[in-house]
Amino acid sequence: MPQESELNYRERATLRAVALGTAEITCSSEPDLFIDGLACCDQTTAHQLANRGFIVPVREGRPGARVPAIISEEGAAALAAYLAATIAA
């Protein structure tokens, strides 16, 4: 079973997409993710990353509003840990 900090392929791809700087997230308890203005095709993964605190809104907004999204320090660390383990292997 993977560790809590391990990322699967979809999670890594989603984090890399958010890192490009064109992501938005809705202000809600189950936030939806948008990349380049389009809804992310895997909202389950987006919800998991948001619930784990790996993707966060840049600022607060009214419920349902879209705000810019970024990778948190925890998300960046998890992605970096995966990359370091891959290089070391």
Average pLDDT, the chain: 91
Query: Would residue 2 count as lying in a domain?
Result: no
Structurally, the chain folds into a number of domains equal to 1
Please determine, for residue 79, whether its predicted confidence score (pLDDT) is greater than 50.
Answer: yes
Q: How many residues does the chain have?
A: 89
Contact predicate 29/89, CB 8 Å: no
Residue 12 neighbours by CB distance under 10 Å: 16
Domain housing 51: 9-88
pLDDT at residue 5, as a whole number: 57
Share of the chain above pLDDT 70, in %: 93
CA atoms of 39 and 35, how far apart (whole Å): 6
Structure tokens at 10: 């979809």
CA atoms of 46 and 55, how far apart (whole Å): 8
Query: Would residue 3 count as lying in a domain?
Result: no
The mean pLDDT of 19-26, rounded to a whole number, is: 96
